[in-house]
């Protein structure tokens, strides 16, 4: 398929005047599938936040030397609190959208790309037609307005494109080109904990990329290498943090909160501290844990978020603490196994993600509370709870499948239909040679347990860093595992997606719709 750099694609941006005219009028602009008006969601006139988010090609500096062509999100706040939008460093990433639970939000989404796109609110409990699903694309030059209530727990979520055309998904390509940003939800319960805030709260969006000599991004180069990349997922040879090479930040002797989002196409990180101190985890994709947990390192799969707390109050000024990640290698099961491994960064390679350089003595910063979320509610299950099994599989030469089925647009099988209000157990069965970060749209679920049934095929090195407590929308299923989650389908009926968030896997079939029936 494609493509070296984005230059060629970005160069063909032609916005027809007719489309632009249509785009100016939200109420009448219809998407290409005739799926009705391009206004979705609540319609009440009083919104606490009103903003515009535009996807467009741009040229930015990433490495030293020539700038790189990217696709990116730019946002404007029309009304609402001043801190609703803040830039995420000076890279290409979308701005940090900061919302408060209880707000009514309206966003006008504008597509200035040369192809269809959508904007998906990853992890948010929003109605199906606000969810940015591929069945509701925004055509080139068109716009769509979505409006929703912010009902989720405080936490770090994110937004990214979710288009899928007749030749497969475009999530991997568009996200790789630069379309992704963090979305934070705050609430009073979290604020009352007094966790590190302001300069003591860092948001880190991790992505791996490869560049050609002229600093153009390279994705799939064609030929055999591309075929293997599509099976394994894209792995770049360098890691970017907030769209820039890893950096050093000056810090004081006090506690810090690191909120990390893995926005990579398929790279799994093993995040650890350079001085081997344990990693203190305070939250996951669905917000704060009931209580902090410690790990030697944390395993962070694509689309997952992790909330870390680190205390530098006893670190001497002049010293530095580095957040590092280990590269990993999958099973060497003959020729196939080799292709699953991380060849871009050799096995055991340790690379920096962030350096915290302690430059000043400072007082302050509350100790970490022993209890973080007293009212953390997880779906409850018993012996009568319905169990649904999902076999994760490979379709030779055609990609991946769930229960033998590949993505077929909005077609839903009987065993993919659930009932509004029900709680179910979903069991993901991984008989493949690779881990799959499985994601369910529209809700947060709890992990009931993992059972090791078959061989982990060389991936066991990731296990000690898994954090299963708390709430999640994306969970890593290792090879040979049966992993059970509990989920409750509330408030909204209609179509949602579930899929592997290895973006090359979802783009190559490992995605399906499920239906919530009222
Ligand atoms: Cu990050 Cu289907 O989504
Ligand atoms: Cu999602
Ligand atoms: Cu997968």
Residue 214: give the domain boundaries: 198-360
Strand order of the β-sheet with 68-79 is 39-41, 143-149, 104-111, 49-60, 68-79
Q: From the CA of 263, which ligand is nearest?
A: 1
Per-residue pLDDT, 44? 75
Question: Is there a domain that residue 378 lies in?
Answer: no
Token representation of residue 339 = 């292709």
Residue whose token pair is 């898994």:
466
Per-residue pLDDT band at 345 (split at 50, 70, 90):
low
Q: From the CA of 134, which ligand is nearest?
A: 1
Q: Is residue 162 located within the same domain as residue 215?
A: no
Assess whether the C-beta atom of 254 lies below 6 angstroms from ligand 1: no
Q: Is residue 73 located within the same domain as residue 11?
A: yes
Q: Is residue 129 located within the same domain as residue 163?
A: yes
The per-residue pLDDT for range 468-494, each reduced to its tens digit, is 999 999 999 999 999 999 999 999 999
Ligand 3: distance of its center to the CA of 437 in Å?
6
Per-residue pLDDT, 447? 98
Q: Which atom of ligand 1 is nearest to the CA of 511?
A: 2
Neighbours of ion ligand 2 (CB under 5 A): 122, 441
The per-residue pLDDT for range 285-341, each reduced to its tens digit, is 999 999 999 999 999 999 999 999 999 999 999 999 999 998 765 544 333 434 455
CA-nearest residue, atom 3 of ligand 1: 122
The per-residue pLDDT for range 372-381, each reduced to its tens digit, is 988 788 999 9
Question: Shortest CA distance to 464 belongs to which of 275, 294, 297?
Answer: 297
Q: Is residue 171 located within the same domain as residue 208?
A: no
Assess whether the C-beta atom of 441 lies below 6 angstroms from ligand 1: yes
The per-residue pLDDT for range 24-70, each reduced to its tens digit, is 233 333 444 444 459 999 997 799 999 999 999 999 999 999 999 99
Among residues 168, 192, 216, the one where a domain terminates is 192
Ligand 2: distance of its center to the CA of 231 in Å?
21
Cβ–Cβ < 8 Å for 207, 240: yes
Rounded distance between C-alpha atoms, residue 499 and residue 401, angstroms: 9
Question: Is there a domain that residue 373 lies in?
Answer: no
Per-residue pLDDT, 83? 97
Question: Shortest CA distance to 63 belongs to which of 262, 249, 213, 206?
Answer: 213
Q: Is residue 391 located within the same domain as residue 281?
A: no
Rounded distance between C-alpha atoms, residue 245 and residue 62, angstroms: 7
Q: Helices then strands (H, E): number in the chain?
A: 7, 34
At 452 the three-state DSSP class reads: strand
Rounded distance between C-alpha atoms, residue 206 and residue 180, angstroms: 11
Percent over 90 (pLDDT), the chain: 78
Assess whether the C-beta atom of 160 lies below 6 angstroms from ligand 1: yes
What separation, in Å, do the N-terminal and C-terminal C-alpha atoms of the chain show?
41
Among residues 177, 192, 207, the one where a domain terminates is 192
Q: Is residue 344 located within the same domain as residue 430?
A: no
Task: Give the contacts of 420 (CB within 8 A, at least 6 positions apart).
Answer: 489, 490, 492, 493, 516, 517, 518
Which residues are paired to 310 by β-bridges? 256
At 211 the three-state DSSP class reads: strand
Per-residue pLDDT, 6? 40
Q: Which atom of ligand 1 is nearest to the CA of 497?
A: 2
Instruction: Please report, for the domain that includes residue 469, its CATH number.
Output: 2.60.40.420
CA-nearest residue, atom 1 of ligand 1: 122
Q: Which atom of ligand 1 is nearest to the CA of 162?
A: 2
Q: CA-CA distances (angstroms) from residue 212 to 69, 244, 292?
A: 12, 16, 42
140-144, 192-196, 325-329, 418-422: which has the minimum mean pLDDT? 325-329
Ligand 1: distance of its center to the CA of 236 in Å?
20
Ramachandran angles phi, psi of 7, nearest 5°: -50, -50
Q: Is residue 221 located within the same domain as residue 334?
A: yes
CB burial readout 266-289, b (16+ within 10 A) else e: bbbbbbbbeeeeebbbbbbbbbbb
Rounded distance between C-alpha atoms, residue 321 and residue 354, angstroms: 9
Q: Is residue 41 located within the same domain as residue 105?
A: yes
Percent over 70 (pLDDT), the chain: 88
Ligand 1: distance of its center to the CA of 162 in Å?
7
Assess whether the C-beta atom of 436 lies below 6 angstroms from ligand 1: no
Ligand 3: distance of its center to the CA of 214 in Å?
32
Question: Is there a domain that residue 226 lies in?
Answer: yes
Rounded distance between C-alpha atoms, residue 431 and residue 479, angstroms: 6
Q: Is residue 153 located within the same domain as residue 243?
A: no
CB burial readout 347-369, b (16+ within 10 A) else e: eeeeebbbbbebbeeeeebeebb
Assess whether the C-beta atom of 439 lies below 6 angstroms from ligand 1: yes
Per-residue pLDDT, 45? 74
Rounded distance between C-alpha atoms, residue 121 and residue 105, angstroms: 12
Per-residue pLDDT, 310? 98
Q: Is residue 262 located within the same domain as residue 133?
A: no
Q: Is residue 240 located within the same domain as residue 355?
A: yes
Assess whether the C-beta atom of 162 lies below 6 angstroms from ligand 1: yes
Question: Is there a domain that residue 371 lies in?
Answer: no
Ligand 1: distance of its center to the CA of 318 in Å?
42
Question: Is there a domain that residue 367 lies in?
Answer: no
Question: Is there a domain that residue 368 lies in?
Answer: no
Per-residue pLDDT, 460? 85
At residue 411, does pLDDT exceed 80? yes
Torsion sign across C-alpha atoms 213, 215, 221, 225: positive
Rounded distance between C-alpha atoms, residue 198 and residue 448, angstroms: 35
1-15, 122-136, 182-196, 448-462: which has the minimum mean pLDDT? 1-15
Ligand 2: distance of its center to the CA of 303 in Å?
8
Rounded distance between C-alpha atoms, residue 175 and residue 356, angstroms: 28
Q: Is residue 13 located within the same domain as residue 139?
A: yes
Assess whether the C-beta atom of 512 lies below 6 angstroms from ligand 1: no
Per-residue pLDDT, 228? 73
CB burial readout 324-335, b (16+ within 10 A) else e: bbbbbbbbeeee
What is the reported pTM?
Answer: 0.92
Q: Which atom of ligand 1 is nearest to the CA of 122?
A: 1
Rounded distance between C-alpha atoms, residue 491 and residue 125, angstroms: 9
Among residues 144, 167, 192, the one where a domain terminates is 192
Q: Tell me the Cα Rg of the chain.
A: 22
Question: Is there a domain that residue 510 lies in?
Answer: yes
Q: What ipTM does this complex have?
A: 0.99
CA dihedral in degrees (311, 313, 315, 317; nearest 10)? 130
Ligand 3: distance of its center to the CA of 500 in Å?
5
104-108, 385-389, 456-460: which has the minimum mean pLDDT? 456-460
Assess whether the C-beta atom of 303 lies below 6 angstroms from ligand 1: yes
Per-residue pLDDT band at 456 (split at 50, 70, 90):
confident
Question: Is there a domain that residue 375 lies in?
Answer: no
The structural domain count of the chain equals: 3
Per-residue pLDDT band at 221 (split at 50, 70, 90):
low
Q: What is the DSSP string of 342-377?
A: --SS-TT-EEEEEEEEEEE-----PPPPS-S-TT--
Ligand 3: distance of its center to the CA of 182 in Å?
22
């Amino acid at each position: 398929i494609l493509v070296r750099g984005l230059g060629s694609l970005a160069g063909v941006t032609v916005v027809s005047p007719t489309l632009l005219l249509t785009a100016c009028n939200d109420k009448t602009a219809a998407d290409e599938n005739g799926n009705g008006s391009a206004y979705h969601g609540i319609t009440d006139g009083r919104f606490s936040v009103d903003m515009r988010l535009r996807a467009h090609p741009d040229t930015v500096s990433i490495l030293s030397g020539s700038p790189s062509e990217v696709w990116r999100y730019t946002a404007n706040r029309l009304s609402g609190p001043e801190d609703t939008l803040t830039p995420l460093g000076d890279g290409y990433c979308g701005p940090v959208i900061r919302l408060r639970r209880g707000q009514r939000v309206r966003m006008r989404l504008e597509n200035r790309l040369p192809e269809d796109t959508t904007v998906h609110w990853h992890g948010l409990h929003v109605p199906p037609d606000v969810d940015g699903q591929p069945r509701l694309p925004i055509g080139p030059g068109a716009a769509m307005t979505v409006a929703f209530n912010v009902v989720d727990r405080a936490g770090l979520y994110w937004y990214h494109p979710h288009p899928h055309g007749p030749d497969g998904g475009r999530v991997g390509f568009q996200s790789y080109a630069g379309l992704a940003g963090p979305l934070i939800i705050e609430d009073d319960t979290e604020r009352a904990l007094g966790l590190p805030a302001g300069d003591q709260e860092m948001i880190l969006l991790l992505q791996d990329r490869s560049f050609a000599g002229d600093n153009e991004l390279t994705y799939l180069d064609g030929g055999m290498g591309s075929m293997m990349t599509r099976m394994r997922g894209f792995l770049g040879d360098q890691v970017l943090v907030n769209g820039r090479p890893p950096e050093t930040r000056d810090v004081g002797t006090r506690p810090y909160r690191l909120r990390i989002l893995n926005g990579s196409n398929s790279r799994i990180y093993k995040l650890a501290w350079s001085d081997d101190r344990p990693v203190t985890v305070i939250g996951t994709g669905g917000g704060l844990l009931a209580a902090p947990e410690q790990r030697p390192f944390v395993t962070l799969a694509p689309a997952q978020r992790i909330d870390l707390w680190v205390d530098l109050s006893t670190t001497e000024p002049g010293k530095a603490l580095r957040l590092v990640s280990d590269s990993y290698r999958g099973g060497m099961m003959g020729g196939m196994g080799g292709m699953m491994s991380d060849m871009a960064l050799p096995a055991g390679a340790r690379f920096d993600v962030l350096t915290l350089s302690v430059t000043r003595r400072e007082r302050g910063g509350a100790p970490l509370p022993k209890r973080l979320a007293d009212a953390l509610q997880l779906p409850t299950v018993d012996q009568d709870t319905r169990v649904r099994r999902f076999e994760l599989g490979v379709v030779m030469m055609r990609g991946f499948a769930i229960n033998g089925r590949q993505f077929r647009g909005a077609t839903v099988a009987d065993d993919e239909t659930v009932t509004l209000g029900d709680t179910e157990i979903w069991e993901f069965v991984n008989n493949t040679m690779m881990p799959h970060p499985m994601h369910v749209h529209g809700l947060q679920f709890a992990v009931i347990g993992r059972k090791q049934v078959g061989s982990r095929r060389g991936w066991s090195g990731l296990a000690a860093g898994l954090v299963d407590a708390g709430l999640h929308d994306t969970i890593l299923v290792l090879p040979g595992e049966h992993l059970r989650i509990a989920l409750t389908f509330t408030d909204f009926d209609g179509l949602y997606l579930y899929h592997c968030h290895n973006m090359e896997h979802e783009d190559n079939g490992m995605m399906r719709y499920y239906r919530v029936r009222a």
